[in-house]
Amino acid sequence: MAQKSRYLVAIFVVAALIPVSASAAASVRVLSGSTPDTRIMPSNQYTVPDSAQITGRRINLPVPTCDSTNLSTCDDLRMLNLQDGFDLRPRVTVPFSGAIDVSTVSDTNLFVIGPNGFRTPLTQLVWDPSTDVLAGKPSDFLSEATTYSVVVTSGIKDLAGNSVIACNGACTSTFTTETATPELAKLRGALDSGSAYAIADITSPERRASFVQAGVRDVFPAATVSSIERGDQVAADPSKPLSFSTVLNAAVGGAGYYAFGSFVVPRYQTYADAVIPNVPTTRTPQPIGKQRVGFTLIVPAGIQPAGGWPVAIFGPGFTRSKYDLFLAADLNAAKGIATIATDPAGHAFGPSSVVVVHQGALTTTFSGYGQGADLDGDGVITASEGVGPTDHKTLDSSGKVIADAPSRYATSGLRDGLIQTTVNLMAMVRMIEQGVDLFGDGNVTLQQHLLGYYGQSFGAIYGTMFIATDTHLTVGVLNVGGGPIVEIARLSGFRNLLADTLRVNRPTLLNGGPGLNGFTESMPLRLDPPVINPYPGATTIQKYFDHGTWQGRAGDPVAFAPLLRLRPPAGAPLKHVIFQTAFGDHTVPNPTAGEMYRAGHLLDLVSYYRNDKTVTAGSDPHGFLLDPRLFGRDQGQAQVLAFISSGGATVIDPDGPGPFWEVPIVNTRNLDCTHYPQPQTGVAYSSSAGEC
């Protein structure tokens, strides 16, 4: 033994005397440790077998010891550990033992591979010199329930120009993607089988349209209506005064009747947190009860056709309501199409909200079926409070907020509200198919086959989910939608909502300016060069946003876009859709619309409204489909009308041709740019390559 020891010492001494090349001494290696921070991620090493999941796997990320300082981190990880796979466009992280030359990273030395020769590079790269971690996202959207591998090769160089040590030339990390769309398909199936209605104790009459409240039929000849008011319950205390405002109404020329009805839907969201309780992905979520929701309906003037009026559904935007129908249906009414709309889940203020119809001196007041609730406990109900989880406030005796706690479900975001809204729309389709009797005379007023759907903003977001999933619907126009929700918020005027979530998070994630609203995320867009010196705390925010997107995929239109024609479900009818996007949209930014179109290979179906070439250039064109102050309103509605009325066969250029519309979009790179100053920099945006 002593002789062997002396032999080993001799070897070490000789080895120490041999010169070591500069290349070997300076080489940086790809780490392959035993924690998520010290190995390539995502990785199936952090999953466990689970036969109750469609993928046969369930995420199993390590959860730290939890206390009041990090409870949000623990809640986030616990929720991720319910998923059946990794995100469909995951944040890939590669840790190194030292600094690398990020300019040497390319599509030949860092990429994701999958079945059938699939290969995609990483984009939107961020190098964090404080941790020596490179992060990025696959350029292409990945398929659900599919196994991929991240590949990192020694083609990457360190700062001395030496090849990094990447295992035996290439390190790989294998991972399986989650399922996102089957949950909503199961809920649709439960409506069709009747099981959802049975479990929710919804009778056949409740599934039908009702136009009667307290014995009064809420159907009014349009010519007799002088104005419509909405009285919104904005205070949690229903005894406090309502907030009244006039409903703007452009549908006066061709309208025959205005109707205010209701029907009952299965309720899946909990009342306390507005989330849908998780079940394994092989199972179907069960309704917790039932809820009566309201709708508005505009019926054309003139003689009703045999079999009823053709009917289209309109989907309102975020914080908006069914009353937007009166700005979205005037061309439809003039062309003999009835239009109907319901509120997004959790919208239209509190349940004590009312509608007041004025017919000269005669007024009729009835429930507005507001779906909002004071979820955060501050005594106020906002326009969309109830669509998703919120923080929880504690007030003192004077009503001042003295404490603010995060929701356990914060990173689920608007996912479950979008799912519930889509279920409500599918229930509305089935309500129409049962026959809508507007006047109570036993005659069907609306055709029982739906003509089509069109939605604006949030209505295009859940509308994409709706059209992609519902087998009863084949035609749709989606106006100014996009995704994911986190990306929309951080790049838009909704950024303050993200800031509130980051502020309340435990630990707080606000890291200060120069970003607006008190945080800077240092996240590049697709055409941007790599970020090589992110703002302190930015990579933690990036990880948080990535988790929110991952959690939210079951309510993300980006995940549903591939179902429209790229990967349609077996037996699904052919879908006829077009998309409308506005240049420089400040509210649903162009890059988030582009994300959705690329995921579904839908760019050839995009009509691009060039607000920058109109007299309203410089304004936010997001509301152009409804807002009469914006140049493109009538043109946008004309394209909707032509497409829906033709069953999806006719796509018109509203400008005929002219400078204000591209049908289809000409330079798709325009969808990679915001065209306005980014909130995280505050400076005018231009791509490094000048491509948009």
Tokens of 240: 């406090």
Q: What is the pTM of this model?
A: 0.95
- Integer Cα distance of 112 and 106 in angstroms: 12
pLDDT at 511 over 80: yes
Provide CB contacts within 8 A for 8, sequence distance 6+. none
| Residue 10 dihedral angles phi and psi, to the nearest 5° | -60, -40
pLDDT at 506 over 90: yes
**Banded model confidence at residue 688, pLDDT cuts 50, 70, 90:** low
* Alpha helix positions (H), 231-347: 325-328, 330-334
Residues 63-99: pLDDT tens digits?
999 999 999 999 999 999 999 999 999 999 999 999 9
Give, as one character, the DSSP assignment of residue 531: B
**Banded model confidence at residue 5, pLDDT cuts 50, 70, 90:** very low
**Banded model confidence at residue 16, pLDDT cuts 50, 70, 90:** very low
pLDDT of residue 657: 85
8 A C-beta contact, residue 363 and residue 228: no
- Integer Cα distance of 471 and 390 in angstroms: 33
- Integer Cα distance of 346 and 268 in angstroms: 12
Residues 244-288: pLDDT tens digits?
999 999 998 899 999 999 999 999 999 999 999 999 999 999 999
Tokens of 430: 């089935």
8 A C-beta contact, residue 585 and residue 618: no
pLDDT at 18 over 80: no
- Integer Cα distance of 450 and 596 in angstroms: 25
- Integer Cα distance of 417 and 383 in angstroms: 14
pLDDT at 371 over 70: yes
- Integer Cα distance of 180 and 227 in angstroms: 44
Residues 290-338: pLDDT tens digits?
999 999 999 999 999 999 999 999 999 999 999 999 999 999 999 999 9
Pairwise pLDDT comparison (9 vs 557), residue with the higher score: 557
**Banded model confidence at residue 9, pLDDT cuts 50, 70, 90:** very low
SS3 content of the chain, % helix, strand, coil (to 5): 30, 25, 50
pLDDT of residue 3: 37
**Banded model confidence at residue 23, pLDDT cuts 50, 70, 90:** very low
pLDDT at 2 over 70: no
pLDDT at 14 over 50: no
Bridge partners of residue 455, in order along the sequence: 315, 478
pLDDT at 27 over 90: no
**Banded model confidence at residue 26, pLDDT cuts 50, 70, 90:** low
- Integer Cα distance of 143 and 177 in angstroms: 7
Pairwise pLDDT comparison (599 vs 26), residue with the higher score: 599
pLDDT at 22 over 80: no
pLDDT of residue 229: 98
Provide the sign of the torsion angle of the four alpha carbons 640, 644, 648, 651, taken in this order. negative
Strands 92-95 and 133-138, bridge-based pairing: antiparallel
pLDDT at 520 over 80: yes
Q: What is the mean pLDDT of residues 369-395?
A: 97
- The number of beta carbons lying within 10 Å of the beta carbon of residue 272 is 11
Residues 430-477: pLDDT tens digits?
999 999 999 999 999 999 999 999 999 999 999 999 999 999 999 999
Helix axes of 458-469 and 415-434: crossing angle, nearest 10 degrees: 60
Q: What is the mean pLDDT of residues 226-254?
A: 96
Q: What is the mean pLDDT of residues 345-353?
A: 98
Say whether 640 sits in a helix, a strand or coil.
Answer: helix
Residues 134-193: pLDDT tens digits?
999 999 999 999 999 999 999 999 999 999 999 999 999 999 999 999 999 999 999 999
Round the average pLDDT of the chain to a whole number and report it. Answer: 94
Domains and CATH numbers, the chain: 26-176 (2.60.40.1220), 209-437 (no CATH), 485-672 (no CATH)
pLDDT of residue 678: 86
Residues 101-143: pLDDT tens digits?
999 999 999 999 999 999 999 999 999 999 999 999 999 999 9
Residues 607-653: pLDDT tens digits?
999 999 999 998 999 999 999 999 999 999 999 999 999 999 999 99
- Integer Cα distance of 272 and 685 in angstroms: 41
pLDDT > 90 in the chain, percent: 92
pLDDT of residue 687: 60
8 A C-beta contact, residue 96 and residue 134: yes
pLDDT of residue 13: 31
